[in-house]
Amino acid sequence: MADRYIEVSLVKRGITCTAQLLDDRAPITCQAVWDALPLGSDVYHAKYARNEIYALFPPFATSEPPLENPTVTPIPGDLCYFAFAGAELGTKAYGYDREVRPGTTLVDLALFYERNNLLLNADVGWVPGTVWGQIVDGLDAMAEACNDLWRTGAAGETLGFRRA
């Protein structure tokens, strides 16, 4: 299979980076994301994992991908996939501006932009994610924008994913 690439953007800020899909390490997850593109949703900055931005989506795969190429210590440039039951994210501590309730599933697509991340959540413990992509171009500019998002806020910003 030929290498596949996507663009990941902070739309309002006009910042885009390019990621290569890790088809050899997470083939089921890569195909599920690829088939669902383009995707975009409100961006959030992580509270627990540290140097992470992410967006939440309704499930888009015909069946939920298994955990592939797992990590609890993502490195700069990693794109991770998580699936959460709504009950796991239903507390006000997460700061979501929409209802997240039991009986639903949410897909979290995340970008890690700096070192020293640990996927340990105070509510549920270890949260392994599937590493399905790696930023290959534009990480420095994206990291700068992510730090700005952390300091000035995420309101009104969208995290977008599309085929390159």
pLDDT value, residue 93 = 55
Which range of residues forms the domain containing residue 103?
Answer: 5-163
pLDDT value, residue 100 = 61
Find the CATH number of the domain harbouring 23: 2.40.100.20
What 3 state SS string does 68-98 have?
Answer: CCEECCCCCCEEEEEEEEHHHHCCHHHCCCC
Question: Which has the minimum average pLDDT: 38-47, 96-105, 143-152?
Answer: 96-105
Residue 102 binned pLDDT confidence (cut-offs 50, 70, 90): low
- What is the per-residue pLDDT across 46-101, written as a single tens digit (0 to 9) for each? 987 899 999 999 899 999 999 999 999 999 999 999 998 766 665 555 555 556 66
- pTM, entire model: 0.92
Residue 103 binned pLDDT confidence (cut-offs 50, 70, 90): low
Our count of domains for the chain comes to 1
Dist CA 143 CA 63 (whole Å): 32
**In b/e form, how buried is each residue of 62-74, taking b as 16+ CB within 10 angstroms?**
eeebeebbebeeb
pLDDT value, residue 1 = 73
- What is the per-residue pLDDT across 21-38, written as a single tens digit (0 to 9) for each? 999 999 999 999 999 999
What token pair was written down for 91? 């507390």
- What is the per-residue pLDDT across 106-129, written as a single tens digit (0 to 9) for each? 899 999 999 999 998 877 789 999
